[in-house]
Structure 1
């Protein structure tokens, strides 16, 4: 099953007020594990970046001068997304900004049926707990040591691990790492998967004689206990 984990950074909070996308990052998952395929682009928003936004993601207007405009990356971005489900944390935010940029570029909006919102999943599972990306990483003991500003590429790496936990738990040996060469797109493998086929040693729970005696005394006080009926009685004698 192919899925895409996606994140954006923007100049503000509302595309209807003229805020724009400045960064798009996405990684590919197959059967919940990163494949190593990455899409990452910085975008010139053609406008200023308020200082409040810079404090969140670290980008200034000067950082993005000369970067491609959104229409220049849209073809490659859409090819990477394909028709796979798109996973994002607070996904309506990212979808809303991408829809605004797609409309400016003369493209149709993203199909909302493809949206997988990890924030909504986490909120349903942990209704009384904080469910920000940072909070979920702490809950699942995911390394946040590289987390400073809200960089989209780092966020999708973290979110891939959170999504794996939300879908049923981390596979043994899963680690996420990437290296970026100066002036090049980040195409280094994101996942190093090791030990997934390592045989597990069973650890049966064997009660001692004292525990068995306590259990026998408890069963003796019950009326027609099921443990004394076939086939349980035979199993108890044999075991």
Structure 2
């Protein structure tokens, strides 16, 4: 009998395939940071903000006061909570066919692995994206910051969310990711517009310009424009005039009004 999918080893998916995966947001609260730390709270949120999983989890060890000071969870809060083996299959099912988006992915992936290993359970190789690293690389030259600070910088309203709560942090990550994705779409649209405009400008340049004059920087006639100075509104009213160069000697093209 074939074992369930989450106990089978999975190959890492190519980057282009991750675009076809459904996004889910994952976060944990734990007993600490070390190699003996355990997950004591799980949050999974869908792309539309639906809470797919939000549960406390019993741990074998104690919860240090330093950890409780961060997330507010005590050992007494876990009385009656499910054990890891009772939530493992459900959690893995949420990851099946998903791109798991995590703020500080390396940490949560490690805690996921070491908590499961306590119970001799396996975690498949997941397709993950670190939103912390993506945000740092996109806006802060690789310098990472806390999730709360990142949301603050982007002026994201998180007043309805409790920080350092697994499901709450998932939702904050989802909102931050949405802001970045919208910004990336705007950047891409602007880049595509610049490329199209450049192609339209270059269409004004003849294939053979050997017979055209070479205007130096100091001899440009009044009203002539360089390639960079041409605007979209100019394309129907200007024509190629010749070669030119900038103040640094870089070669370029010059265009004149059609009535000159």
Scaled by the length of structure 2, the TM-score of the pair is: 0.62
Q: 1:51: which partner in 2?
A: 65
Contact 1:95 1:110 in 2 (8 A): no
Contact 1:43 1:70 in 2 (8 A): yes
Change (3 A) 1:99 1:153: same
In the alignment, which of 42, 66, 74 is matched to residue 88 of structure 2?
A: 74
Contact 1:58 1:149 in 2 (8 A): no
In the alignment, which of 57, 75, 84 is matched to residue 61 of structure 1?
A: 75
1-structure distance, mates of 2:108, 2:75: 21
Deviations for 1:38-77, whole angstroms, at most 9, x for unmatched residues?
1111101122111110110010111112211101111111
2-structure distance, mates of 1:224, 1:61: 73
Alignment of 1:93-172 (within 5 A): 93-112=107-126, 114-127=127-140, 131-147=145-161, 149-169=163-183
Change (3 A) 1:110 1:230: closer
2-structure distance, mates of 1:64, 1:224: 72
- 3-state DSSP of counterpart to 2:98: coil
Runs (4+) of structure 1 exceeding 6 A deviation are: none
Contact 1:23 1:42 in 2 (8 A): yes
2-structure distance, mates of 1:8, 1:141: 24
Residue 19 (str. 1) matches residue 37 (str. 2): yes
Q: 2:7: which partner in 1?
A: none
User: What is the number of residues matched between the two proteins?
Assistant: 182
Residue ranges of structure 2 left out of the alignment (5+ in a row): 1-20, 186-219, 240-256
- 3-state DSSP of counterpart to 2:61: coil
Deviations for 1:156-204, whole angstroms, at most 9, x for unmatched residues?
1111000111222499xxxxxxxxxxxxxxxxxxxxxxxxxxxxxxxxx
Larger radius of gyration: 2
Residue 28 (str. 1) matches residue 42 (str. 2): no
Change (3 A) 1:230 1:28: closer
Residue 232 (str. 1) matches residue 237 (str. 2): yes
Contact 1:147 1:154 in 2 (8 A): yes
Residue 87 (str. 1) matches residue 105 (str. 2): no
Deviations for 1:69-126, whole angstroms, at most 9, x for unmatched residues?
10111111111221211110110100001011222333323415x1200111111112
Report the Cα offset of residue 147 of structure 1: 5.0
Q: 1:7: which partner in 2?
A: 27
Change (3 A) 1:231 1:95: same
Report the Cα offset of residue 130 of structure 1: 5.5
1-structure distance, mates of 2:163, 2:116: 26
Report the Cα offset of residue 144 of structure 1: 2.9
